[in-house]
Amino acid sequence: MRQYIIDRLKEEHISEKNNKYYISLPMFNSVWFYPLLGQFIFNDKVVQFDVISEMIRDKILVFKSIETHQGELMPRYILNHEND
Q: What is the pTM of this model?
A: 0.82
- Report how far apart, in Å, the C-alpha atoms of 17 and of each of 43, 49, 53, 63 are: 20, 29, 27, 20
In a domain, 48, yes or no: yes
In a domain, 84, yes or no: no
- Are residues 30 and 77 in contact, defined by beta-carbon separation less than 8 angstroms? yes
What's the domain range around 15?
A: 2-79
Per-residue pLDDT of the chain (84 residues; tens, 9 = 90+): 889 888 888 888 777 777 877 676 777 789 999 999 999 999 889 999 999 999 999 999 999 999 999 899 999 999 997 755
Query: Domain count of the chain?
Result: 1
